Structure 1
Amino acid sequence: MLGRKTWKSRVGFWVAIMLLVSFCLLPFAQILSTSLKHQFDWGNPSLIPQVVNLDAYKELLGLAEQKEVEVPAAIKKILDNPKIPQNKKDAILAKYTDTSDVFPFGRYMLNSFLISAGAAAVSLVFAVMGAYSISRLQFSGQVIVQRSVLFVYMVGGVLLMVPLYQMAVNVGLATSMWGSVISLFAIYIVQTLPVALYMLGNYFRSIPFALEEAAMMDGYSRKQAIWKVVLPLSLPMLATVFMYCFIIGWNEYLFASVFLKQFKEFYTLPLALQELFVSKNAIWDRIMAASMLTLAPVVICFLFAMRHMDGGKTDGGVKG
């Protein structure tokens, strides 16, 4: 019978799904496995560590106990020599008490969070106003504006990097630390605003305008109707758009590598991880643990979005 599924087709379908999911998850499983292995276990092809090692995670999160630095006896004798100037003694002692080998993961994560979340919040505010105007109001050039927004999003970041950096240099922003941070913040807004406008515009069109009309008939102004009716009905999409914009900024590397290259204290996580690969901190378990911790906010945002992407809140709001 046409369209009837046999048990062979069902088994084949689920096998194909499992193979596809396994293929996609295998790199993440390898990262997690390596981050939990000791050095003697790195060559083990098994994904299950022989002994679970959490030292890399404790070190990155600042939970590891500070190890006391022991100065060799020969160095102590040199430091006891009264003929050596005090500044040279301090320089020698600093080599044994230096903590530069500690990767400041918390600071880099905070930098990424502040820039990404701040840019996503500002982009969401502008997107709400712009998307509502495009979806509800009638004005000349509306179609051109709507299509231009999506066209800007399709332009690659590589094409925009050089002109944007030249603009920042010409106005004097790229020459200072805070100016570079502000430039990067503005670029993240420009990057995320088009897709936020597109997503919210389509969602606002799905909300019946009769609900706003009913609110305005009850004495609300248009602004009050937006605040009291449209935005509460759009909370799932607003949260999703915010998280999507946040993820774009969280994973961005190209512009951060250009604007923040000379300001290490403001590195974002993608840029910091690239530096970690070529530094003396380049230990496999530490690299993989940092990668997993960088991935964690993205996974949390995705799970949160899937949980709150519920629809049908306007069903029955308007009688036929």
Structure 2
Amino acid sequence: MVVRKRSFIKKVLFWFLIAVVVIFVAYPFVYMVSVSFRYDSDAFDPGLIPDNPTITQYAQLLGLQESIRQQMSQEEQQLMKLLESLPEDQRELVFKNIQAQRKRESFPFLRWFGNSLILAGASALTSVLIGIFGAYSFSRIWFPGRNLIQRGVLLVYLVGGVILSVPIYDIFVRLGLTNSSGASLFSLYIIYVIQTLPVSLYMLGNYFRTIPESIEEAALIDGSTRMGTIMKIIIPLSMPAIITVFIYAFMIGWNEYLFASIFIRPFPGAYTLSVGLREVFFSEHAVWAKMMAASVLTAVPVIVLFMSVEKYLTAGLTAGGVKE
């Protein structure tokens, strides 16, 4: 048998293509991080290394430093002095207009961050919990219409979200779940669960089928209940798949924009990160350095979540569990 060595030119070409792909993928993120460590006036300076690096943008977003937009400008201070000479009703009207303008110029990153975190986390957890029991029933329990239902849960992905947005919004309006910020957030929670549940059922069901049924049979013979088998055998052995599904569902809720822009647009206090950043980005008050810092912080939860559970994302936990 003759082993042919790969030519030097092929090696160079291979690694060159790898480098091009890495640079193409990583450069936008690197540039975003670079701009986030600059002042707003220096946001578009050339080069990736800031001439005057600063963490001001992160400090303001995290509430560690007061933003310029939260401080009263000299024009507003002069206007407040002029208001003293006006009648009380006119003074209150002008003051309300100033407050509304300052509210539109605000950048409540922590509030948006919390809304997104609660929505994405709660919907992902619910999707996983329902998916575990639903997928187990599909893979282990026979009942009339099982195959039809199992295939039917994936039909939701045959229709785009844009087409479903109008009838879904009409349904929630009729149910009265769009009249307040809390109701709108609850509507988004339901929508995110509906969006992620079919894939959760499909992925977990396929993984449960790889677990030898003889393990469950042994547990049932020893007196374990069906619920005990799920909690003590299926869930521990399926932890890689469960965590993968949770991350997938979390990312869906974390990055979702279409339904969020429809349901919570009338309520600025309920904005998620995707909607809030988009509103600031297309407003006259866009500040590029702070926008880039907010984008970096938006990516942090997903990165931290993935790194913290990476050790579980391995297959083969059932290998050697039973000998057929």
| Alpha-carbon shift at residue 297 of structure 1 (Å) | 1.4
Q: Does 1:122 find its partner at 2:130?
A: no
* SS at structure 1 position matched to 2:153: helix
| Alpha-carbon shift at residue 137 of structure 1 (Å) | 1.5
Residue from 265, 268, 273 that aligns with 2:269: 265
**What amino acid is aligned across from residue 5 of structure 1 in structure 2?**
R
Residue from 286, 293, 296 that aligns with 2:297: 293
Is the CA contact (8 Å cut-off) linking 1:103 and 1:281 kept in structure 2? no
1:15–1:308 CA distance, 2 compared to 1 (3 A) = farther
Q: Does 1:206 find its partner at 2:207?
A: no
User: Structure 1 residues 38-47 or 16-25, which shifts more?
Assistant: 38-47
Gaps of 5+ in 1: none
User: Structure 1 residues 125-134 or 99-108, which shifts more?
Assistant: 99-108
1:244–1:20 CA distance, 2 compared to 1 (3 A) = same
Q: What is residue 137 of structure 2 aligned with on the other side?
A: 133
Q: C-alpha separation between the residues in 1 aligned to 2:88 and 2:166?
A: 49
| Alpha-carbon shift at residue 236 of structure 1 (Å) | 2.2
Gaps of 5+ in 2: none
1:256–1:76 CA distance, 2 compared to 1 (3 A) = closer
TM-score where L is the length of structure 2: 0.88
Q: What is residue 37 of structure 1 aligned with on the other side?
A: 38
Q: What is residue 52 of structure 2 aligned with on the other side?
A: 51
Q: C-alpha separation between the residues in 1 aligned to 2:256 and 2:229?
A: 36
**What amino acid is aligned across from residue 253 of structure 2 in structure 1?**
G
Q: C-alpha separation between the residues in 2 aligned to 1:197 and 1:307?
A: 23
CA RMSD of aligned residues (A): 2.7
Q: C-alpha separation between the residues in 2 aligned to 1:74 and 1:180?
A: 39
Q: How does 1:16-95 map to 2 (within 5 A)?
A: 16-65=17-66, 69=72, 78=82, 84-85=86-87
1:21–1:35 CA distance, 2 compared to 1 (3 A) = same
* SS at structure 2 position matched to 1:206: coil
1:227–1:193 CA distance, 2 compared to 1 (3 A) = same
Q: C-alpha separation between the residues in 2 aligned to 1:244 and 1:207?
A: 22
Q: Once the two structures are superposed, what CA deviation does each residue of 1:171-223 show, in whole Å capped at 9, x if it has no partner?
A: 22223333322221111100010111111111111111111111111111121
TM-score where L is the length of structure 1: 0.89
Residue from 156, 161, 176 that aligns with 2:160: 156
Q: C-alpha separation between the residues in 2 aligned to 1:92 and 1:71?
A: 16
Is the CA contact (8 Å cut-off) linking 1:37 and 1:52 kept in structure 2? yes
| Alpha-carbon shift at residue 302 of structure 1 (Å) | 3.1
Q: C-alpha separation between the residues in 2 aligned to 1:42 and 1:4?
A: 49
Q: Once the two structures are superposed, what CA deviation does each residue of 1:271-304 show, in whole Å capped at 9, x if it has no partner?
A: 0011111335311101111111112112223333
User: Structure 1 residues 55-64 or 279-288, which shifts more?
Assistant: 279-288
**What amino acid is aligned across from residue 21 of structure 2 in structure 1?**
L
User: Structure 1 residues 281-290 or 62-71, which shifts more?
Assistant: 62-71
1:273–1:221 CA distance, 2 compared to 1 (3 A) = same
Q: C-alpha separation between the residues in 1 aligned to 2:223 and 2:152?
A: 36
* SS at structure 2 position matched to 1:103: coil
1:268–1:213 CA distance, 2 compared to 1 (3 A) = same
Q: What is residue 107 of structure 2 aligned with on the other side?
A: 103
1:180–1:69 CA distance, 2 compared to 1 (3 A) = closer
| Alpha-carbon shift at residue 91 of structure 1 (Å) | 7.2
Q: C-alpha separation between the residues in 2 aligned to 1:226 and 1:307?
A: 22
Q: C-alpha separation between the residues in 2 aligned to 1:182 and 1:70?
A: 38
1:293–1:77 CA distance, 2 compared to 1 (3 A) = closer
| Alpha-carbon shift at residue 3 of structure 1 (Å) | 6.5
1:296–1:77 CA distance, 2 compared to 1 (3 A) = closer
1:281–1:70 CA distance, 2 compared to 1 (3 A) = closer
Q: What is residue 171 of structure 2 aligned with on the other side?
A: 167
* SS at structure 1 position matched to 2:63: coil
**What amino acid is aligned across from residue 44 of structure 2 in structure 1?**
G
Residue from 281, 303, 309 that aligns with 2:307: 303
Q: What is residue 220 of structure 2 aligned with on the other side?
A: 216
Is the CA contact (8 Å cut-off) linking 2:180 and 2:267 kept in structure 1? no
Is the CA contact (8 Å cut-off) linking 2:181 and 2:269 kept in structure 1? no
Q: Once the two structures are superposed, what CA deviation does each residue of 1:34-54 show, in whole Å capped at 9, x if it has no partner?
A: 111224433322111112121
User: Structure 1 residues 29-38 or 159-168, which shifts more?
Assistant: 29-38
* SS at structure 2 position matched to 1:281: coil
Q: Does 1:191 find its partner at 2:195?
A: yes
1:260–1:65 CA distance, 2 compared to 1 (3 A) = closer
| Alpha-carbon shift at residue 92 of structure 1 (Å) | 7.2
